[in-house]
């Protein structure tokens, strides 16, 4: 029972890690595509 829980948690963590990597790559491409928008915009 515990082994199944551990395997399920490991699979869930790897899936979350994959989603985070995908989102970070997407954000990097987005910010690279729009360089004229300053991240720290002072009014």
Report residue 6 as tokens: 């551990």
At residue 19, does pLDDT exceed 60? yes
Mean pLDDT of 20-26: 93
Question: pLDDT class for 17, splitting at 50, 70, 90?
Answer: very high
User: Domain residues of the chain, as ranges?
Assistant: 1-43
Report residue 39 as tokens: 């991240």
User: In the block, which residue shows the tokens 């082994």?
Assistant: 3
Distance CA 12, CA 41 (A): 37
The verdict on pTM exceeding 0.85 is no
Residue 9 has a pLDDT of 80
């Amino acid at each position: 029972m515990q082994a199944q829980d551990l395997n399920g948690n490991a699979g869930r963590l790897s899936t979350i890690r994959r989603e985070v990597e995908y989102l970070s790559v997407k954000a990097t491409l987005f910010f690279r595509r729009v360089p004229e928008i300053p991240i720290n915009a002072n009014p």
